[in-house]
Amino acid sequence: MSAVPLRNNKPAASSLRSITVLGATGSIGDSTMDLLRASPERYQVEALTANGNVEGVVKLAKEFNARFVAVADESKLGELRAALAGTGIASGAGDSAIVEAAQRPADWLMAAVSGAAGLKPALAAVDRGATVALANKECLVCAGDFFMDRAAKAGACILPADSEHNALFQALASGSREELTRVIITASGGPFRTWAAADIEQATLAQALKHPNWSMGQKITIDSASMMNKGLEVIEASYLFALAPDEIDVLVHPQSIVHGMVEFRDYSVMAQLGSPDMRTPIAHCLGWPDRIPGRAAPLDLAKIGALTFEAPDYARFPGLKLAYDALRTGSGATTVYNAANEIAVAAFIAQKIRFGAIARLVEATMNEWVRAGNLAPLSSADDAIAVDHKARKMAATLLPQIAAKAS
Ligand code: NDP
């Protein structure tokens, strides 16, 4: 049975739900807390986590009367304990404390730690058969070989929180797997949608951070500008819904109103629409299988007027095509794609490489990985983390020559 549930797999409704938010101080965390804040009588916060933002997570813990708070940065334990003194809220620090937060018995958990660091805590929640709203893409991109299988075996319920996958999740309910012909993930096209390749090559950090529609964390905003984010989402969709690369299309849709579509064999296409605000897909996950009141602006299509669509340009956005290559290669190649991209984005932020070099570094790392004969299926978090570390090292080694090369 798939870990992504069908509508009729309805769990018993409980009046008070206990909630854990991993990555509570981030952009997704903020949207999640906003939804919880709107109906405090419905939720008991079990655990909240952050990386190093003690002030932010403690403020939330006090507001929501959380039972446990963890920060990943071990050096902040003293600061955390001092800030929580007298509250009775338990606390911990280090990666193991984030895993402990995930293991605590919450009914519903938001997995919104950024990056590969989110994998082990998400797996800890999956292993206890939890209902997990999955925002962290890296869980699937780095560990897709086994993440969903493990979730299915543990009886965990994975609710896709990323807007495009949440849209597909909603649209998929209109037909069976056998009736599906393809899914379509939309992409805003980012700030460089209409730019010439030569201008994209030279784009600055400030230009890359100006997303036309969505307000998100820095890394994902840069990934949107390079369309690497869409590549990560193609990989995510493949693992989440067990789809072949050929069954996943990307369509550029600058207004970001249609988030995803599913085409069935009679050529009916079911779409999910909404304002570009992560609180809508998160509300869908939080309420599932029921619907709770949303917090985003209601959609006013008359005001928007026109919805437009165009094919993606793989020549100007080569990172998107590389995602399909990684999926077809399999056996850890998607982990390499993600790791190399994280190194490339960090180098771009540090002004060590040009914007155009992000995709070149990812491609060079993937090629070197295959050439070195490193491909092997991944079966555990440790396997995935080992590939992630090795690929990061390889990307860091290749970085100077990519940085030196003109486009
Ligand atoms: P942010 O950078 O805004 O927040 C990340 C959160 O994770 C923060 O709470 C941060 O803590 C915490 N964190 C960072 N590093 C670690 C670590 N090593 N160990 C433990 N906790 C850590 O990210 P977003 O909220 O934008 O994104 C979170 C995830 O959701 C990502 O995987 C992203 O791809 C995905 N996503 C995001 C969307 C969005 O709209 N933002 C949309 C769809 C998916 P601190 O504040 O202390 O640094």
Average pLDDT (54-67) is: 98
Cβ of 158 less than 6 Å from ligand 1: no
Q: Which atom of ligand 1 is nearest to the CA of 117?
A: 18
Is residue 233 scored above 60 in pLDDT?
yes
pLDDT of residue 212: 82
CA of 218 to the centre of ligand 1 (A): 9
Reported confidence tier of residue 406, pLDDT bands at 50, 70, 90: low
CB contact at 8 A, 376 and 332: yes
From 23-27, 51-55, 136-140, 196-200, the region with the lowest mean pLDDT: 136-140
Cβ of 19 less than 6 Å from ligand 1: no
DSSP codes joined into one string, 7-64: TT-PPPP-SSEEEEEETTTSHHHHHHHHHHHH-GGGEEEEEEEESS-HHHHHHHHHHH
pLDDT 10s digits, 170-210 = 999 999 999 999 999 999 999 999 999 999 999 999 999 99
Q: Which atom of ligand 1 is nearest to the CA of 121?
A: 20
Task: Give the rounded percent of residues in the chain with a pLDDT score beyond 90.
Answer: 89
Choose the residue to mutate in 21, 51, 142, 165 for probing ligand 1, maximizing ligand atoms within 8 Å of C-beta: 51
Choose the residue to mutate in 20, 25, 28 for probing ligand 1, maximizing ligand atoms within 8 Å of C-beta: 28
CA of 270 to the centre of ligand 1 (A): 30
pLDDT of residue 7: 52
The closest residue, in CA terms, to atom 18 on ligand 1 is: 117
pTM of the model: 0.94
Is residue 140 scored above 60 in pLDDT?
yes
**Torsions phi, psi of 111, nearest 5?**
-95, 95
The helix (run of H) or strand (run of E) holding residue 68 is strand 68-71
Cβ of 282 less than 6 Å from ligand 1: no
Reported confidence tier of residue 216, pLDDT bands at 50, 70, 90: confident
Cβ of 99 less than 6 Å from ligand 1: no
Average pLDDT (227-256) is: 97
CA of 56 to the centre of ligand 1 (A): 14
Average pLDDT (355-366) is: 98
The Cα-based distances of 331 to 145, 304, 395 in angstroms read: 7, 43, 18
From 71-80, 213-222, 237-246, 301-310, the region with the lowest mean pLDDT: 213-222
Cβ of 162 less than 6 Å from ligand 1: yes
pLDDT of residue 144: 86
Q: Environment class of residue 115 by beta-carbon count within 10 Å: exposed (0-12), middle (13-18) or buried (19+)?
A: middle
Q: Which residues of 289-316 are buried (b: 16+ CB within 10 A; e: fewer)?
A: eeeeebebeeeeeeeeeeeeeeebeeeb
DSSP codes joined into one string, 350-361: TTSS-TTHHHHH
Cβ of 137 less than 6 Å from ligand 1: yes
From 6-10, 66-70, 147-151, 388-392, the region with the lowest mean pLDDT: 6-10
Task: Give the rounded percent of residues in the chain with a pLDDT score beyond 70.
Answer: 97
pLDDT of residue 86: 97
CA of 273 to the centre of ligand 1 (A): 24
pLDDT of residue 4: 84
